[in-house]
Amino acid sequence: MSRSPQLKAKDVYFVVYDTKVQKRRMVGSIKTMNGNLHSNGSIQNSNGLEEKLHDLRCLLGKADGDPLRIVGVGAGAWGSVFAALLQDSYGQFRDNVQIRIWRRPGRAVDRPTAEQLFEVINSREDVLRRLIRRCAYLKYVEARLGDRTLFADEILKDGFCLNMIDTPLCPLKVVTNLQEAVWDADIVVNGLPSTETHEVFEEISQYWKERITVPIILSLAKGIEAALEPVPHIITPTQMINRATGVPIENILYLGGPNIASEIYDKEYANARICGAEKWRKPLAKFLRQPHFIVWDNSDLVTHEVMGGLKNVYAIGAGMVAAHTNESATSKSVYFAHCTSEMIFITHLLAEEPEKLAGPLLADTYVTLLKGRNAWYGQMLAKGEISLEMGDSISGKGMIQGVSAVEAFYELLSQPSLNVLHPEENKPVAPVELCPILKTLYKILISREESSQAILQALRDENLNDPRERIEIAQSHAFYRPSLLQKP
């Protein structure tokens, strides 16, 4: 394998800008040996990264002169940040790795967003200088004045994600032709919503008909779909990809965790878990791991993937409770007690060893309730600042995955074939009857027979049932339904 030339020791001077007071603070110089200063302020050791890249290339059987091709499909917040993290770390090794991202062309940036983007650019001198060097600054001035229309794929090339305007990324190689993006990709990163995954990967499968090697697919999607035939079951994004492309499930992995995309790019400490076959998950965990982004690995692909979708359901309700109670800490804690008891009950339906999921699920739920887009969506609905008629794809936020997940979980858990014995009434009931918050969210978001105020009524349980009792019920009864995840 060819090696990059050794860098000589040199002084790297950099500046930090306090965007709150618009004041420049010189923080000195850093001497680096074999190091690189990246757009988000990190300094990576090129030797350690080169070794990790070399190991992955060898595992994939890449010959000298043939770059490892990594392509992100979908440019939402997390998909864009993921591609930018890889570009910041490995983009220096241009002969050995090629990192690209695909997004659909033609999505216009409205004028208020262009004005906000202009303000972000002018608050960050490093970004401003970068655009001036690239001769790209003038178009943002024109867009702010209304003299020019910017497009999402255009600004992504300059390092701006339409769903995350306030967090500038490094410039990215953007491809708007899907065939061009994926036809020879070694690793495809799925950053699409679950609602779009099957359709896009069906198209991708047409471009892979003549492939000899099988690609690796890493899915970031958090969402599920429901199927009622031949038996009620959950369909996850990795299963959609498997069915659409024929790529073996051993080559399809899921990565998720309790994290917020913008904070990860700003180097806040985070962790994630990559799930799937051991052959690929361990090398990929090593390849993706960074000092601020710890990646664990686990063999349980589907269950972790489903848990990633489940927490979005209850995050929407959390936002509604926060809005209707004026951010009452007491009310939010009551809601958290009820929603976590329902999630624990549902994990007992889905997993043979649900206790292994408790920690990751609660951690992911916690961060989503704090700052996730689903909680934001519930809050804006309750305040009347957005409406259900606007759909579940919101400008500046992207797809609100929790909406389709509410419908999917409700449809599945209301099926009589999944009936469980009600511990108090001693009669069979659909599992959803033991999940009053899920039922209420369905009535608010899907059937629209209730207003968002109904979420508070769901907390005021007239039967005086302690949420602890639902957990005890789940732990003391054999509720496991392997058919929900298509297990024998």
Q: Is residue 160 part of a domain?
A: no
Q: What is the mean pLDDT of the chain?
A: 87
Residue 203 lies in a domain: no
Q: Is residue 220 a part of any domain in this protein? A: no
Q: Is 142 a member of any domain?
A: no
Task: Please indicate whether residue 345 or residue 17 has the higher confidence score (pLDDT).
Answer: 345
- Is residue 30, in this structure, part of any structural domain at all? no
Q: Which domain holds residue 455?
A: 302-485
Instruction: For 107-117, write each residue's pLDDT tens digit.
Output: 999 999 999 99
51 domain residue, yes or no = no
Asked whether residue 342 is assigned to any structural domain, the reply reads: yes
pLDDT in tens, 430-461: 999 889 999 999 999 999 999 999 999 988 76
Confidence of residue 331 (pLDDT cuts 50, 70, 90): very high
Which pLDDT score is estimated for 428? 87
Asked if residue 390 has pLDDT above 90, the reply is: yes
Structure tokens at 477: 């009864």
- pLDDT at residue 26 greater than cutoff 90: no
Enzyme catalytic residues: 311
Instruction: Please check whether residue 14 lies inside any domain of the structure.
Output: no
Tally of domains within the chain: 1
- Using one digit for the tens of pLDDT, what is the confidence trace for 339-372? 988 988 888 888 887 777 777 777 888 888 888 8
What pLDDT, on a 0 to 100 scale, did the predictor assign at position 464? 57
| Confidence tier at 299 by pLDDT (50, 70, 90) | confident
For 138-161, the pLDDT digits (tens) are 999 999 999 999 999 999 999 999
Cα gap 246→214, rounded to integer Å: 10
CATH number where 413 lies: 1.10.1040.10
